[in-house]
Amino acid sequence: MATSTEVVAQHSLQHHFANMEQQRESSTLGMWIFLVTEILFFGGLFTAYVVYRSMYPDVWEMGSTHMEFWPGTINTIVLLCSSLTVALSVRAAAMGAQKTTALLLLVTVLMGFGFCGIKAYEYHHHWVEGTIPGNLWHYNVAENPDGTHSVPPHELQLFFFLYFVMTGLHALHVIIGMCILSTIAFFAWKGKYTPEYHNPVHISGLYWHFVDLVWIFLYPLLYLIANKHV
Amino acid sequence: MSEHILPKRMYLLVWAALMGLMVLTAVLSRVPMGREVNTIIALIIAAIKATLVLLFFMHLKYESYKLSAVVFVAGFFWLLIFFGLTLTDYLSRHAFGAPH
Amino acid sequence: MATAAALPTERQNYLNSNYGWKSWLLTTDHKRIAILYLISITFMFFIGGFFATMIRLELLTPAGDLMTSDTYNKMFSMHGIVMVFFFLIPSIPATLGNFFIPMMIGAKDLAFPRLNLLSWYIYIVSAGLMIYVILTGGVDTGWTFYPPFSTTYSNSNVVLAGIAVFINGFSSILTGLNFIVTTHRMRAPGLTWNRLPLFVWSHYATSVIQVLGTPVVAITVALVAIERLWHVGIFDPKVGGDPVLFQHLFWFYSHPAVYIMILPSMAVMSEVVTCFSRKRIFGYHFVALASIAIAVLGFLVWAHHLFVAGISAYAALVFSLLSYFVAVPSAIKVFNWTATMYKGQISYATPMLYAFGFIGLFTMGGMTGLFLASLGIDVHVTDTYFVIAHFHFIMVGGAVMAYLSGIHFWWPKMTGKMYPEGWGKVAAGLVFIGFNLTFLPQFVLGYMGMPRRYHAYSGEFQVLNVLSTAGASILAIGYLLPLVYLLWSLRYGKDAGPNPWNAIGLEWMTSSPPPTHNFDETPVVTWEAYEYDHAPQEVPVGN
């Protein structure tokens, strides 16, 4: 006689897999390979960043002074905390505590909203400042530390272009992650997962952690270049 | 189930370490040590943070199936190749007395 | 009815298990998805072929009399975009790979069947978008989308074409991801890596390139589209940007993309050459590892496309040297196929004829690639017809020949029907003759200095151009013939039986067409690949 957990396990086993372990390892490996494509996807932008920063180190420092320290830092804190809640939600799923999983994921999604809100505040700040590259650019007079004024170098647009594309693409990933985690939270609340079958929670968690990883590098590369005072 | 269930304490410890490193990198960025040194230190700290997330939050340390780790490291390595070979061009544009 | 009762009931297979458009459009069976891909890419192939025809017709005379230079720009751009992104990249992996990788490793399906279907839908969306671009005026940037022309000066629909290429990339990524996981996790008991057919090895290497390279080209064309839409200028020298950076990013994918096209062709070669030589492959491990070596080294050579673009002399030196290295594993493969044929029981069936063509033409394409890797010659022939001839030897003489070889080889398995062997041989001959007549003169033209991408040329080049156009006409017939007789064979072809070639491999051990789950029970593998020593020494058909 099959026990009830075995029945559940068989129910969630797709027909072309021999057993649950094969299915679990396949989907985990698939997710890791997907994350590698994400590394290279962001990698094109990071390469552009490395090239232009090596060409215009002074401009990069100047650009970094336009990044506000606290919003960036708070967002880093928010993402690191959200990584913790996701990790704990996967742990809860592995233990069979599905309501806990759902709640922790919900907290994560809320932190995702917080992140996006702060990001939007920063974007608005750049809008007001006039540092949107392209036709909207109207940051044409820069104030120097000694109080004099000068024309900012036009390469500053490159810095801001990369800033917007990199953080924008990252924010897009945050939003996609929020959608995925909400779905998973819904199914967890409905009781779809078991200690034997919770790999969707696990691999969605991997995705969220990856989004966090990207930010771990974006934060020092964009916000912490210049030695200015808080 | 072959998956490990790790104690909650471990997750909290890793999280605390991440927060500590974040404070460290923010503070050190204010200490003028020269542009290159500051950048290198910031990147080293970011790499440590990333490794912590990968090993503990993403379970690479506990995954019974090691291929995932190989795959991810290979992808990161590929990014470094991408940087490196692109920079052979940009860092040597003005070498050999070539015109500017 | 008596006659109906007398017929044996038809065996249930993947084609007759259920009917209706839903059973195809919502299928997750890798074999049906392969057929969907086959139909779609064949359609795109003939669209691309139409543009090629237009190019060759224009070049019949030195004057630009058939179309304006603007139209001509669009013709070669869309020929390139359609052929590269919508035919060659998916060609063998998405059809033959999709169909046979699970069968060769004794699996019921790929690891992610729904992802596989999704990849086809992504392909269809991007192809639909591309066709829309073509119908609404096309693009004129060349398939390479170089800025600043693509970002600032072109008046054609670069953004939509870029989006089509961007979307198409994800279809390629998903196929690669699926193959990697499938190869790792779905192999039948006993099928170790050392017993794996080289077809699977080669596709594995291809998939690695797809996964590592494609995201970069996706983000790169996205950057071009953003720059064009909002005039923000990441590649624009006016704000300090570097147009050469685009070329770095673009060729980081697009050079390895050549190996996405040729590695699956090599995959087909290893299967066909062994079967029709009745021999074990010579140096199995070298061929297998050469695939991986090509995938790795292929990533280290991209800047040889940039030798005259303004990269540093030092970088040019490094990339020139690295480019020579990639010839080594390619040469290993060619030597090993020839060594496999040595003293083999060779039979001259259609797939083998294409294989002969492949080996000769690929060798020439590869050798002229060495010319281009060497700095001095490259500077002389950059952007001439020499380059055109070189990469058509690889992509048409190599990849398309192998694709046709594979289609003929596995047609009996995919459809259960034999194609007409006589016509097959005629078509193979026409393709070979037509191809050489088209592209051999272009080597000479290039060396004489005829530049690519112009609709008019100086009168001294006319004789060779007429030869080339004549060859292209023969080539066109060579491509249309298989389309006709393969379709004909679906209805009138002889029944193939499970193994018409007496070939070795798990895919031949099940019925043709295969049942939905490929095997009635999961096979257990206790032998190495290509054990033709123990197989009948004759190929029953095709001699």
pLDDT tens over chain C, length 543 residues:
344 444 555 678 999 988 999 999 999 999 999 999 999 999 999 999 999 999 999 999 999 999 999 999 999 999 999 999 999 999 999 999 999 999 999 999 999 999 999 999 999 999 999 999 999 999 999 999 999 999 999 999 999 999 999 999 999 999 999 999 999 999 999 999 999 999 999 999 999 999 999 999 999 999 999 999 988 889 998 889 999 999 999 999 999 999 999 999 999 999 999 999 999 999 999 999 999 999 999 999 999 999 999 999 999 999 999 999 999 999 999 999 999 999 999 999 999 999 999 999 999 999 999 999 999 999 999 999 999 999 999 999 999 999 999 999 999 999 999 999 999 999 999 999 999 999 999 999 999 999 999 999 999 999 999 999 999 999 999 999 999 999 999 999 999 999 999 999 999 999 999 999 999 888 999 999 999 988 888 888 766
Q: Do C216 and A41 touch (CB under 8 A)?
A: yes
- Nearest residue, CB atoms, C181 vs list A14, A16, A29: A29
- DSSP secondary structure string for all residues of C296-340: HHGGG-GGGG-TTTT--HHHHHHHHHHHHHTHHHHHHHHHHHHHH
**Residue A32 forms contact with B (CB below 8 Å):** yes
Mutation target among B4, B12, B19, B29 for the A interface, most CBs of A within 10 A: B29
Cα dist from C452 to C87, C384, C438, C442, whole Å: 22, 5, 15, 10
Q: Scanning every residue of chain B, which has its alpha carbon at the shortest distance from the alpha carbon of A201?
A: B58
Residues of chain C contacting B92 with CB distance shorter than 8 Å: 312-315
Contact status, residue C240 vs residue A55, Cβ threshold 8 Å: yes
The predicted pLDDT at position C536 comes to: 83
Pairwise CB contact (< 8 Å): C184 & B67:
yes
Find the distance separating the first CA and the last CA of chain B, reported in whole Å.
63
Which one-letter amino acid corresponds to residue A78? V
User: Structure tokens of A139?
Assistant: 């940051």
| Range 19-78 of B in CB contact (< 8 A) with A | 19, 22, 25-26, 29-32, 35, 38-39, 42-43, 45-46, 49-50, 53-54, 56-59, 63, 65, 67-68, 71-72, 74-76, 78
Q: Which amino acid is it at C267?
A: A
CB C371 within 8 A of CB C350: no
- What pLDDT shows up at residue C3? 45
Contacts of C285 (CB under 8 A, 6+ apart): C194
Does the predicted interface ipTM exceed a cut of 0.85? yes
pLDDT at B54 over 80: yes
> Which residue out of B66, B78, B89 would a mutagenesis test of the C interface target, given it has the greatest number of C Cβ atoms within 10 Å?
B89
Residue length of chain C: 543
Instruction: Report the alpha-carbon distance of residue B3 to residue C445 in Å, rounded.
Output: 64
Q: What distance in Å separates the CA atoms of residue C447 and residue C456, rounded to the nearest whole number?
A: 17
CB contact under 8 A, A29 and C185: yes
CA C83 to chain A, closest CA, distance in angstroms equals 24
Q: Which has the closest alpha carbon to C390: C494, C292, C258?
A: C258
Q: Give C173 to chain B, closest Cα distance, Å.
A: 14
Choose from C191, C204, C232 for mutation: most chain A CBs within 10 A. C232
pLDDT in tens, A132-149: 998 889 898 887 777 788
Q: What's the token pair of residue C343? A: 């003293």
Name the percent of chain B lying above pLDDT 70. Answer: 90
Q: Are the C-beta atoms of residues C104 and C197 closer than 8 Å to each other?
A: yes
- What pLDDT, on a 0 to 100 scale, did the predictor assign at position B42? 95
Question: Token match 């690891």: residue?
Answer: C111
Strands (E), B1-95: none
Q: How far apart are CA B8 and CA A221, in angstroms?
A: 32
- CA neighbor of C54 nearest in space, from C480, C533, C455, C511: C455
Residue A116 has pLDDT above 90, yes or no: yes
Tell whether A48 lies on the interface with B, counting CB pairs under 8 A. Answer: no
Indicate the helix (H) or strand (E) that contains B80.
Answer: helix B67-90
* Token pair for C532: 């033709």
SS3 C272: helix
